Structure 1
Amino acid sequence: MASCPFSSATPSSAATPIPSPLPRPRFPAKFTSSLPCDELSSLGHEDGEDAVPVPDTLLSSPRMVRNAVYSFVNPEDQSKNAFLLSWNKDLATEIGVESSKIDKLSWSEEEHQHLVKVLSGGGRSLKTVLEDEKKLKDAGESPRLSQPWAHCYGGHQFGYYAGETINPSTGGSWELQLKGAGKTPYSRFADGYAVLRSSIREYLCAEAVHALGVASSRSLAILSTETMVVREEGGEPGSIVCRAAPSWIRFGSFEIFFYRKDRKNLRQLAEYVVGEVYRMEKDDPKVMAQFSEEFRKEEREAEAKLAKAKVNGNEQKSASTEKSSKDSKDKEDDNTPTRPMYHNRFAKMFAEVARRTALMVSGWQAIGFCHGVMNTDNMSILGLTIDYGPYAFLDKYDPTWICNHSDTEGRYSFQQQPGVCLWNLGRLALTLENLIGAQEQVDDLEWLSQQEADPTLEKKLKGNATDIIVEIMNKSFRDVFLKDYRERMNVKMGLGGADELQDDDLTEIVVPALAWMDDHEVDFHQFYRELADYKVQTAESVADNAGQVESFVKKLVPTPVWQSRGNVAIEECKGWLRPYHIRVLRSKYQQDDANRKAQMNKVNPMFVFRNWVAQKVIERVTDSVMKTRAGSQEPDADKDLLDRVLWMCRHPYGEDTQEVAPKVGDACEVKRNDAGLEAYGDFVGPVPEWGQGIQCSCSS
């Protein structure tokens, strides 16, 4: 996965040695060797020196691609005057980069240039090292690097390339993508580029969400390119982000085949996800046969009995009354056969997708994260947060908050996110219902084909699937979401972990506290940090803590709110604080103020990558990039700012962080802010007035 763009231009072009900082790619990639390829882009791909190259301009041209999950496409070469802005050594460790090459300061100048060239699409122009090529051939391995590809799925995709790598230590598989690397067949009329501001937002936020304990794609590197990209605001500096995930398959990957009625490739994709992404075993034919023997015979007998009862009931009908009709209906219901349902591998796959999606969105709600564009093409089959566009972390708590200013109807508002995930899962289920509904007969392809060819039989197939899907939605999504959300919120509020959950914690404390925050415009993240300082050891009740309660409320509510209705805010705060105080005192561990504070501050961040922070970072990094490109010799305090803010995103919990924030370069000074937190400089504290509630667009 880590080696998508690390390929030769065509099968006949010269081999390219792998740059030292990156692990060797898997070739051929499991993804491309298992799934159908765009026929045009595959022409001559495996023909070696006899290949007939297809021009890149044709391969990357927007066009209709059918019967394919991907297209081989080379990234556009933007390596001229490109340079590395930041490198994520934490992720580099996870994908298997050699320990001696984790830190970019250990690279030679040649290695540094080599990496920049590869990640900016210029790998095809690197000179072949014949000795390395010969060693690879002698070892029976292909000297060619993995051929990059672009995903085909329902939705929109502008310039994403993928390749695979394996961590040799863990065996973990990763796909790397270049976002902003030029056109693909799926770019439609877009240019396939990425502007610096959107690249910075994705590069940093993916790591921030991951560090806050929510599943996410990851960020390996960000580069500045010489490309000037035209957007609504005019010309902007171009950039490329190298991002990583175990798989980039989305709900939309299934939808495109479903709506094209391409059952063959839909099944092939589902088989790939089951076997290669989730590593699930094939259904055991013996188990399926046993199920069919035990339950299908019983089901058929019950159906026959019911049919006979209906016939007899009709023959005995005479001058029936309303009562006799009711008795007959009751008898019919009593004879309705139970319908045992076999959960085959596709049902199990869907259940796992639903479970992971539930954990992802419960995490979003707990950390105050708004995605902004929850289309099915932005929903990961692994339950990862992907495609960071118009996202935002909450400032003041507002459940109706819409972070995408293009979302005029509020479809993706903060409070709607769990419901949208459920709706999206329904769309995925629709694509799988025939496979799920086939139950233990799913591998009898002739039988399944007959069912799908007959509208009446297919209707029964879909009916079987509905019962299974509803059960999965309830157990794997709704139940999992509620359980995980309750556990996350209890820990955030200092009420203990999963083993200390109490039935009324959510209804008596958590929900009322959120409503109080909403009513009085309280900052979502500051609330938990201040609550961690609330002391119960010296007071038996809230009534004994009047001074502390007043101070707590005054710190949290904005000045205008305090001046206009401070007393109301205090009284309403006591409404949820009374049961909270009692609840904390019941727990031997939580009633210890120091222990509770330490526990809360390990899960409630001091540093949050809010939109106002992103805006300041974008402005400063953009100025730094422009100075560099202009050849300025002046000292640049922001030259290493991205590395420093990346560290903040990776270590968001403040004074409890054990690792000391690095001084990345001589020009990158560590500052102390008003809160006394050196690591975060000017990026923590109250949200400035200009930074409240910043919305973004899909191009941000």
Structure 2
Amino acid sequence: ITKRTARLVAEWQCVGFCHGVLNTDNMSIVGLTIDYGPFGFMDRYDPEHICNGSDNTGRYAYNKQPEICKWNLGKLAEALVPELPLEISELILEEEYDAEFEKHYLQKMRKKLGLIHLELEEDSKLVSELLETMHLTGGDFTNIFSLLSSFSVDTDPSKLEAFLEELTSQCASVEELKVAFKPQMDPRQLSMMLMLAQSNPQLFALIGTKANINKELERIEQFSKLQQLTAADLLSRNKRHWKEWLEKYRVRLQKEIESVSDADAWNTDHVKVMNSNNPKYILRNYIAQNAIEAAENGDFSEVRNVLKLLENPFQEAEGLGEVTEDAEEEGATATAAACAQETRSRLPYCSKPPLWASELCVT
């Protein structure tokens, strides 16, 4: 059970899946994802991403999932005490969980990066630095990984510049960052909380948390900096960050190539493995919202489109137009169908979210 759970949450982390309500009764001893209501896939990479709007403390945030699942296993161990002594189950948990999670996570990340022949100690650092670069640039978690399969170890500057343009197009714009870091507390409330923290720490501990206040102060600082940031400055900064990481990635890929006798065959396998481990499509909130709105207008073709898309999330979508042709069978009016088609045509299904999607809240 411990190993199954560790592998499950490692898979979640590798595709940016957030469960949302990881209570003990929402977990399965057979290692399945169950009872996910306010779940979501992370768009812009943020290790503290919270998909559930009612999770005010971030207990089930993206980066907390591995530890929460381990905690839940501890509760299962307590429930099994009549049959299994706690000292034995706790020992199993401590010895098995973290090691299994780290092993499976790194194996999966190697596949996502196309590192298919060598397993080097430096790989863990390469992954960490990739995620840090995503965080610094507001990179779209799914699309960045998907794009990396087209990265070439060729040192041609023009090819690198073209790839950087494509990569940075999947990073957050100034406007998107302003929305993400917009202060959430009323200034007067924040001021009162800060005064209370100084004058009556005991009372403050009952009604607020230091972590939340610190996060709000960080948000205010970031938001202030963004007021002075231009799109050109942001693009330049993002390109610099990505260029630094891509050089490390290129060196690592070169080691792969040097370890094989047929570089062309390696490249074919490398791309194939990456494309089968990096989904092109995920159920983004804006995609779900478009489908919901169309269905509420009597047009269920978009629901069928999304279902078909997610049945094969690693493959380029083909023939989705065929799904929409029988919209009238569901009783959709011509107007509703036209509205749904207009909604769908605004963005490709693999696009990072539009700005309006930041207002969506799942709870």
Q: What is the TM-score with the length of structure 1 in the denominator? A: 0.38
Which of 330, 339, 356 pairs up with 1:690?
356
Question: Matched residue of 2:81: which SS?
Answer: helix
**Amino acid aligned to 2:249:** Y
Which whole-Å deviations, capped at 9, do the CAs of 1:472-529 have from their partners, x for residues lacking one? 2134321111111101111112222xx632111011x111110111111111111012
Q: Distance between the aligned counterparts of 1:379 and 1:355, measured in 2?
A: 14
Pairing 1:663–2:322 present: yes
- Provide closer, same or farther for how the CA distance between residues 661 and 378 of structure 1 changes in structure 2, counting only shifts above 3 A: same
Q: Contact (CA 8 Å) 1:356, 1:382: kept in 2 or not?
A: yes
Trace 1:455-474 onto structure 2 (pairs within 5 A). 465-466=86-87, 468-474=88-94
Which of 6, 10, 18 pairs up with 1:370?
18
**Amino acid aligned to 1:513:** L
Pairing 1:575–2:234 present: no
Q: Distance between the aligned counterparts of 2:347 and 2:241, measured in 1?
A: 35
Shift of 1:661: 5.2
Which whole-Å deviations, capped at 9, do the CAs of 1:533-587 have from their partners, x for residues lacking one? 2111x328xx796524532443232343752333332222233222210111122
RMSD in angstroms over aligned alpha carbons? 3.0
Q: Distance between the aligned counterparts of 2:292 and 2:356, measured in 1?
A: 15
Pairing 1:642–2:311 present: no
**Percent of matched pairs sharing the same residue:** 32
**Amino acid aligned to 2:358:** Q
Shift of 1:384: 1.1
Q: Distance between the aligned counterparts of 1:365 and 1:559, measured in 2?
A: 24
Q: Contact (CA 8 Å) 2:143, 2:350: kept in 1 or not?
A: no
Which whole-Å deviations, capped at 9, do the CAs of 1:10-51 have from their partners, x for residues lacking one? xxxxxxxxxxxxxxxxxxxxxxxxxxxxxxxxxxxxxxxxxx
Which of 265, 273, 276 pairs up with 1:602?
276
Pairing 1:492–2:140 present: no
Shift of 1:652: 0.9
The structure that is helix-richer by fraction is: 2
Pairing 1:386–2:2 present: no
Which of 515, 521, 542 pairs up with 2:132?
515
Trace 1:63-102 onto structure 2 (pairs within 5 A). none
Match in the other structure for 1:505: 123
Shift of 1:682: 4.5
Shift of 1:681: 8.0
Q: Gapped runs of 5+ residues in structure 1?
A: 1-352, 438-464, 625-637, 672-676
**Amino acid aligned to 1:692:** S
- Provide closer, same or farther for how the CA distance between residues 623 and 682 of structure 1 changes in structure 2, counting only shifts above 3 A: farther
Q: Contact (CA 8 Å) 2:2, 2:73: kept in 1 or not?
A: yes
Shift of 1:668: 4.5
- Provide closer, same or farther for how the CA distance between residues 665 and 407 of structure 1 changes in structure 2, counting only shifts above 3 A: closer
Q: Contact (CA 8 Å) 1:370, 1:413: kept in 2 or not?
A: yes
Instruction: Work out the number of aligned pairs and report it.
Output: 290
**Amino acid aligned to 1:608:** I
Match in the other structure for 2:204: none
Pairing 1:558–2:206 present: no
Which whole-Å deviations, capped at 9, do the CAs of 1:267-294 have from their partners, x for residues lacking one? xxxxxxxxxxxxxxxxxxxxxxxxxxxx
Pairing 1:539–2:155 present: yes
Q: Distance between the aligned counterparts of 2:256 and 2:146, measured in 1?
A: 20
**Amino acid aligned to 1:408:** N
- Provide closer, same or farther for how the CA distance between residues 474 and 688 of structure 1 changes in structure 2, counting only shifts above 3 A: same
- Provide closer, same or farther for how the CA distance between residues 378 and 571 of structure 1 changes in structure 2, counting only shifts above 3 A: same
Which whole-Å deviations, capped at 9, do the CAs of 1:405-430 have from their partners, x for residues lacking one? 11111101000000000111111111
Match in the other structure for 1:230: none
- Provide closer, same or farther for how the CA distance between residues 404 and 606 of structure 1 changes in structure 2, counting only shifts above 3 A: same
Q: Gapped runs of 5+ residues in structure 2?
A: 175-229, 329-337, 339-343
Q: Distance between the aligned counterparts of 2:289 and 2:29, measured in 1?
A: 31
**Amino acid aligned to 1:539:** T
- Provide closer, same or farther for how the CA distance between residues 591 and 577 of structure 1 changes in structure 2, counting only shifts above 3 A: farther
**Greater Rg over alpha carbons, structure:** 1
Match in the other structure for 1:524: 141
Match in the other structure for 2:285: 611
**Amino acid aligned to 2:164:** E
Higher RCO, 1 vs 2 (CA within 8 Å, ≥6 residues apart): 2
- Provide closer, same or farther for how the CA distance between residues 623 and 661 of structure 1 changes in structure 2, counting only shifts above 3 A: closer
Q: Contact (CA 8 Å) 1:359, 1:484: kept in 2 or not?
A: yes
Match in the other structure for 1:422: 70
Match in the other structure for 2:334: none
Shift of 1:687: 1.2
Q: What is the TM-score with the length of structure 2 in the denominator? A: 0.72
The structure that is strand-richer by fraction is: 1
- Which deviates further from its counterpart, 356-365 or 601-610? 601-610
Q: Contact (CA 8 Å) 2:45, 2:135: kept in 1 or not?
A: yes
- Provide closer, same or farther for how the CA distance between residues 383 and 532 of structure 1 changes in structure 2, counting only shifts above 3 A: same
Q: Contact (CA 8 Å) 1:549, 1:570: kept in 2 or not?
A: no
